[in-house]
């Protein structure tokens, strides 16, 4: 150990704040903050470029605590360096409505860049941050004007590296040469169940070298070694760097350091007293000496860094006014001022064409129209671009051109989705990612995280039902749409034709407070004729597509490919209206009067039809209604045969309506 005593004392501020807050909450993880304190001290006080007085400074470095259970490490850092996070906030650790929840949560405390806790997703988000930085820099930087120029630092532990998503994301990071990504691996050999060597014996060094990373090794408590490794990492701009830091979990605790007992539980008052003595820390709980605060305070340094960047950007703005305005627009998350008008013009053209095509093709046509309008697009597919139809004529892969707008993610559904979350969090891009709907299951937790963090990520899912046919039950989604619809703050669109597809894209792009999922067909879907008023109502998520002939007696509700079945049934019935509901979430946001105008409460004879699990629709049809759909897995056969086999037919709809209205 070469760390001077005063440096260790500065780092000890993290240790004592972490153990005090966890003890007060009687819940939490003190071990990781205590073990990583020396690493955090070096990175945050010497390398991390940030401004605590303006946490949203455009060119700040990004920091991700992937092992988010050690959240008190990040809260202590934010407090000590001068963010608006007080001692009282630390005392409220893990309490209701506090700024310091159990895991870092986006939007609770300033300086938190992403929500972490589900292990492995933080490092994947960090890959997204680094990808966004590299691509944005390539698109906007000019000679002598590196206006986008920052690093992404990420802390991670054994759990992150065991999770499969780390393999997906880190493999791609190496392939893309994300040299401004620096990861510090807390190699303490301990997880909740004890010493990890019994279940985690990977050669992490060789694994990351095989990915194309630079790998360095240090004693995680030797600040000189950490400092030197960080300098070396920052100099290697063609490869991401993993710094393997050998640490002792819970360092400073005489009886619990190096043991799983310090991992996920308070140390206890007696042990904390012994730890204070061992650390030479003689102040009471939650008290930090003034000289320690002075050593940590980053406000003046951060303000100077931002002022220097502001001066650079002012010169850039003078010389490149168009690019400067565009960079600010994109990083503010605003779409181009003419986008809505041009999108509406495309929708009008789509109505005029009246094409009967698959909605995945309609989606590609929409991308072709919207793509040239939106330089912030950063699309991608999990090795299914030819099936998802996510490529448009202006796409260029970032693998070959860092200033491109498309990512070939390979077969990495989970990694792709979490990386896209990081891209959205970074700012400057609107990411869309795609796979088959069935394989959304691989990405499920990252989809949830995009909704939890309220990020504008567009999830494109094709091959939406048993209608994909011969691939059989392994590829035919049954319960996936209901799963997406049951995710809070996620808009799930299942359009019936070209017009609804274009409106779904427009709505998803305009939405700034959350993600959207577009559920698209493999097979051709019939074009539906609409009035101008009906077209205007598509954005409301549900609308009357066909008015009843005579007195209203029954309602048919349908989405996607089943809308045409409903319309064929409508032609055989009297007193029936057809409601197309491409996005139930948007429909439920409408006021009561509109919902009543579409689904009058007095009409209890209702049939919902969708080639997916039936359970979701009972809330719309009621116990007196009927749902035509799936309650089993699919089969392998042509689509027409499958719809007939499972009873999702015009005849079934007609018979259901007649039975209820008899």
What is the mean pLDDT of the segment spanning 554-582? Answer: 98
**In what helix (H) or strand (E) does residue 309 lie, and over which residues does it extend?**
helix 299-319
Provide the phi-psi class of 579: left if phi over 0, else alpha when psi is between -120 and 50, else beta: beta
Q: Which of 113, 163, 271, 413 is catalytic?
A: 413
- Ramachandran sector of residue 41 (left: φ over 0; alpha: ψ -120 to 50; beta: rest): alpha
Digit-coded pLDDT (tens) for 400-420: 999 999 999 999 999 999 999
pLDDT for position 214: 98
Do 464 and 477 meet the contact criterion of CB atoms below 8 Å apart?
A: yes
**Mean pLDDT of the 590-602 span:** 98
Is 150 marked as a binding-site residue?
A: no
380 is in an annotated binding site: no
Beta bridge partners of 517: 459, 492
Q: Over the stretch 34-70, which tens digit does the pLDDT of each residue have? A: 999 999 999 999 999 999 999 999 999 999 999 999 9
Known catalytic residue: 413?
Answer: yes
**pLDDT greater than 70 at residue 157:** yes
pLDDT reported for residue 1: 44
pLDDT at 168: 98
Tell whether residue 426 is among the known ligand binding residues.
no
Place of tokens 């009067």: 593
- 332 assigned binding-site residue: no
**Residue 463 is assigned to a ligand binding site:** yes
* For residue 163, pLDDT beyond 80: yes
| pLDDT value at residue 6 | 86
Q: What's the CA angle centered on 237, arms 382 and 184, to 5 degrees?
A: 75
Return the half-sphere exposure (C-beta side, CA atoms, 13 A cut-off) of residue 169.
35
- Strand partners for 431: 378
User: DSSP of 71-104, one letter per residue?
Assistant: HHHHHHHHHHHT-S--HHHHHTTT-TT-SS-SS-
Model confidence at 203: pLDDT above 90: yes
Distance CA 176, CA 127 (A): 10
* Mean pLDDT (the chain, rounded): 97
The HSE-up count of residue 104 (CA atoms within 13 Å, CB side) is 27
* Pairwise CA distance, residues 291 & 653, whole Å: 76
- How would you label 261-289 residue by residue, b for 16+ Cβ within 10 Å and e otherwise? bbbbbbbbeebbebbbeebebeeeeeebe
Annotated binding-site residue? 48: no
> What is the pTM (predicted TM-score) of this model?
0.98
In this prediction, residue 7 carries a pLDDT of 87
Determine the pLDDT at residue 5: 55
90-111 pLDDT, tens digit per residue, is: 999 999 999 999 999 999 999 9
pLDDT of res. 225: 98
On the question of pLDDT at 15 being above 70, the answer is: yes
Structure tokens at 158: 């054994």
* Mean pLDDT score, 267-295: 97
Report pLDDT digits (tens) over 626-635: 999 999 999 9
Whether 263 has a binding-site annotation, put simply, is: yes
List, in sequence order, every residue forming a beta bridge with 440; answer none if it has no partner: none
Is a pLDDT exceeding 70 seen at residue 149? Answer: yes
Is 251 marked as a binding-site residue? no
Q: Is the pLDDT of residue 3 over 60?
A: no
In order of start, what are the domains of the chain with their CATH numbers?
5-302 (3.40.50.970), 338-519 (3.40.50.970), 540-661 (3.40.50.920)
- For the segment 7-25, the average pLDDT, to the nearest whole number, is 97
Query: Is 330 marked as a binding-site residue?
Result: no
Q: Is 191 known to sit in a ligand binding site?
A: no
Q: What is the pLDDT of residue 558?
A: 98
The pLDDT > 70 percentage for the chain reads: 99
Q: Is 483 known to sit in a ligand binding site?
A: no
């Amino acid at each position: 150990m070469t760390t001077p005593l005063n440096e260790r004392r500065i780092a000890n501020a993290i240790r004592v704040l972490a153990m005090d807050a966890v003890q007060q909450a009687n819940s939490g993880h003190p071990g990781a903050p205590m073990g990583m304190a020396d690493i955090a001290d070096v990175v945050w006080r010497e390398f991390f470029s940030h401004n605590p007085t303006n946490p949203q400074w455009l060119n700040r470095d990004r920091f991700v605590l992937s092992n988010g259970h050690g959240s008190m490490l990040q809260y202590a850092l934010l407090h000590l360096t001068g963010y608006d996070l007080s001692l009282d906030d630390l005392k409220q650790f893990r309490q209701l409505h506090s700024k310091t929840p159990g895991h870092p949560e986006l939007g609770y405390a300033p300086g938190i860049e992403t929500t972490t806790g589900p292990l492995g997703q933080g490092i994947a988000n960090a890959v997204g941050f680094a990808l966004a930085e590299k691509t944005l820099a390539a698109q906007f930087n000019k000679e002598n004007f590196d206006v986008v120029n920052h690093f992404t630092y990420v802390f991670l532990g054994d759990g992150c590296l065991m999770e499969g998503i780390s393999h997906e994301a880190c493999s791609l990071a190496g392939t893309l040469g994300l040299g401004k990504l620096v990861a510090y691996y807390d190699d303490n050999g301990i997880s909740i169940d004890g010493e990890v060597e019994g279940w985690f014996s990977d050669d992490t060094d060789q694994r990351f070298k095989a990915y194309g990373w630079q790998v360095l090794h240090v004693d995680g408590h030797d600040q000189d070694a950490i400092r030197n490794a960080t300098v070396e990492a920052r100099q290697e701009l063609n490869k991401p760097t993993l710094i393997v830091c050998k640490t002792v979990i819970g360092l400073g605790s005489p009886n619990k350091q190096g043991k799983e007992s310090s991992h996920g539980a308070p140390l206890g008052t007696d042990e904390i007293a012994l730890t204070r003595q061992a650390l030479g820390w003689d102040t009471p709980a939650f008290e930090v000496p003034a000289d320690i605060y002075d050593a940590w305070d980053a406000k003046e340094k951060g303000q100077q860094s931002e002022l220097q960047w502001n001066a650079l950007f002012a010169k850039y703005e003078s010389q490149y006014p168009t690019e400067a305005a565009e960079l600010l627009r994109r990083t503010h998350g605003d779409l181009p001022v003419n986008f809505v008008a041009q999108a509406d013009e495309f929708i009008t053209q789509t109505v005029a064409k009246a094409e009967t095509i698959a909605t995945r093709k309609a989606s590609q046509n929409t991308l072709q129209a919207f793509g040239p309008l939106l330089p912030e697009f950063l699309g991608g597919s999990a090795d299914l671009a030819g099936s998802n139809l996510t490529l448009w004529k202006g796409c260029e892969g970032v693998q070959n051109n860092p200033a491109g707008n498309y990512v070939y993610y390979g077969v990495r559904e989970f990694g792709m989705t979490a990386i896209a979350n990081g891209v959205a969090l970074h700012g400057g891009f609107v990411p869309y990612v795609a796979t088959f709907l069935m394989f959304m299951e691989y990405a499920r937790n990252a989809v949830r995280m995009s909704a939890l963090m309220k990020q504008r990520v567009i999830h494109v899912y094709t091959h939406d039902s048993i209608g994909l046919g011969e691939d059989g039950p392994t590829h035919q989604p049954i319960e996936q749409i209901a799963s997406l619809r049951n995710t809070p703050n996620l808009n799930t669109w299942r359009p019936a034709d070209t017009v609804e597809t274009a409106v779904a894209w427009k709505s998803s792009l305009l939405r700034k407070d959350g993600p959207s999922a577009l559920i698209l067909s493999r097979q051709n879907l019939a074009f539906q004729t609409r009035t101008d008023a009906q077209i205007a109502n598509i954005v409301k998520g549900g609308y009357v597509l066909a008015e009843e002939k005579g007195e209203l007696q029954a309602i048919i509700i349908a989405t996607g490919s089943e809308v045409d079945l409903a319309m064929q049934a409508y032609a055989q019935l009297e007193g029936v209206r057809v409601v197309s509901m491409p996005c139930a979430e948007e429909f439920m946001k409408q006021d009561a009067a509109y919902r009543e105008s579409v689904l009058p409460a007095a009409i209890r004879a209702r049939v919902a039809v969708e080639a997916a699990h039936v359970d979701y629709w009972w809330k719309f049809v009621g116990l007196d209604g009927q749902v035509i759909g799936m309650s089993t897995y699919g089969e392998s056969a042509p689509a027409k045969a499958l719809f007939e086999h499972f009873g999702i037919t015009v005849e079934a709809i007609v018979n259901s309506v007649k039975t209820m209205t008899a």
